[in-house]
Amino acid sequence: MKKLLSLIILTFFGCTLFAQTANTVATPSSSKPKLVIGIVIDQMRYDYIFRYWNKFGNNGFKRLVNDGFFCKNTTFNYMPTYTAPGHAAIYTGTTPSVNGIIANDWYDKETEKHKYCVSDNTVNGVGTNGIEGKRSPANLLTTTITDELRISSNMKSKVIGIALKDRSAILPAGHTANAAYWYDGASGNFISSTYYMNELPLWLINFNKKELPKKYLSQPWNTLLPIDQYTESLPDDNNYEALAKGETKPVFPHKLPELMEKNGGLNLIRNTPFGNSLTKDLAIETIINEQLGKSSATDFLTISFSSPDHIGHLYGPNSVEQEDDYLRLDNDLAELFKFIETFVGKNNALVFLTADHAAPEVPAYLSDLKIPSGYVKEKAMVDALKKYLTKNYQDTLVLSYSNQQVFLDHKTIKEKKLVLQDVQNDVASFLQDMPEVAEVVTANTLNENQFTQGARYMMQNGFNAKRSGDVLVNYLPAYVDYSPKGTTHGSPYSYDTHVPLIFYGWNIKKGSSTEQVNITDIAATLAMMLNVQFPNGCTGKPIDFIAH
C-alpha cells in the first residue's frame, strides 16, 4: 500500500513538474524591440569594412562589428544584382522569381514598353507635380517583413521608408507602410505620393524648408583626412575615374558650388557623401516627429544610403572618393546610433545593416594588371543577333534586349508558325558564341528544370516567368556593359553578391560566423524575432545564430 501511495504521489508531482516545464517552454516571449531599423547601403562591398577599418571611428561600423553579430558570408542568391531587386529581396525574403522585381526597370510584355520598378500612373506626387512623385509599391508581387509587422499589430506598428532613391524608400516599406519619402533633386525636397498620403506632414515641410541640400552643396568636397593618408585607394589622379561635367581631372577638391549648374543642380548631392548626411538628418527627424519606438507596438524605419552607389559608379571601388565617402558615412552612422540609443535605448532597438549589391573592380584597371577583364558592346551584339535572325527568319524577332535578357516577338513567331522553343534555342546558340559571353539559358530550360548551384541557379532565381525575357545571358567574370571609367554591377559573381550583414542591439549576442547566409534569410530571421508571419512569398530561412 505504501509503495502504491508513493507511486501515486511521484506520478502526480512528476506530471505537475512536466506540465510546468511544458508550459514554460511553450509560452512565447512577449518581449519585442520598440524599434527596428533596417539599414541598406547601396553598393557596399564586404571588404570595405576591413579595408577602411583602421580609419573608422569607434562608434560607427566598428560599434556594429564589435558589439553586434557579423554574418561574414552573406551573399545574394540570384542575378541581376541591382538596386531594386536587392532592396526587394532583403525585405520580401525571396528572389525576383517570386517577388517580381526583376530589375530597376524592365521590358513590359503587355504594353511593349519599358516599365520602371516603382512607377504607378494611378497615383500623383505629394510635394511635387513631377513624374518623380508617381510612385508606389504596386509592382511588388509579395508582402514584405514590414507588411507582416503592420498586419500582426493590427496596423498599430508604424512603418516608414526613407532614401534618396525612390525605389530604395518604397520597396522596403512595403504595401502597407504609413509613409515612404524620397529625394526630388529638382526642388531639393523629400517627397511622397498619394499612395501614402494627400499632403506631406508639417514636420517634413519644415524639414524641407531648412534647405539642407543647398547648405551641403555650398562647400567644396575636400577629403576628411589629409589626402596622403588615403593609402587604401589608388592615387587621386588616375585613369579609371569618370569626370563631373566641368572638371578636367577627377581630383580633390571637388568644387561643388561651381559644379552644380552643369551637374543637375541640387541633384548633385547624390554624387557626394553629403547625400548620406542628408539621409541621416531625415532619419533622425523622422524618428523624433513620428515618435518611433515610443508606443506599445514595434515600429520599423527602413533607411537606404544611396550615395555610395552614385559615387561607386562614377569613381570606382579603389578611388579616394569612395574611401572618403565611407569614412564620412561612418561618422553619420555613429551620430545616428548615438541618437537612437538616447531616444529609445540600445536594448529597445534592433538594427541590421547590409547592402543591396556590391561592385567589381574597374575592368580597365584589371586589364592593366593583366587580369582577364573587359567590356561588352551590347549594341553591336544585338545588331549581330538581329542580322542573323533576319537572314534565317526574314525578321529580327527581337523586341528588346535589356538586363541581359532577349525579349522575342511572340506574335510574329506565332504568325510565321515558328516553334518558340526552337527560336529560343537558336538565339541562345548564337549568343553563346560571343567572346564575352559565359553562359546562355532559355526561358524554356528554366521553366522545365530546377538548378541548385552555379550561374544557372542564380539566373533561375532571378527569372520571373511572366516578366522575364526568352533568353538570359551571363557575361564572363569582370566583363561589363559600361564605360571604361567607374564601375557597375549586376552579375552572379562574388564581387557583386558578397555583402556585409550585421545585427546589433535588442537580443543580439556579440559574435560572428562564416556560415553561408542568403540575403533572403534576413526577412525570415526578423519574422522569427518579431513573432510575426513570414512574408507571403518568403523562400529564405531563419539564421539560427541570430533568431535564437
74 sits in which H/E element: strand 69-75
Strand partners, 472: 405, 441
Catalytic residue among 74, 81, 83, 223: 83
Rounded alpha-carbon distances, angstroms, from residue 188 to 268, 304, 480, 521 = 10, 18, 33, 36
DSSP 318-338: TSHHHHHHHHHHHHHHHHHHH
What cell does 416 get? 510565321
Strand partners, 375: 480
**Sign of the dihedral defined by the CA atoms of residues 400, 403, 406, 410, in that order:** negative
Rounded alpha-carbon distances, angstroms, from residue 383 to 388, 396, 477, 479 = 9, 9, 23, 19
In the annotation, is 83 catalytic? yes
Return the closest-CA partner of residue 175 out of 548, 507, 510, 537: 537
DSSP three-state, residue 72:
strand
Cα–Cα distance for residue pair 230/224, rounded to 1 Å: 10
State the burial class of residue 478 (Cβ atoms within 10 Å of its Cβ: 0-12, 13-18, 19+). buried
Cα 276 → chain centroid? 15
CB neighbour list of residue 11: distance below 8 Å, 6 or more residues apart: none
Q: Which residues are catalytic?
A: 83
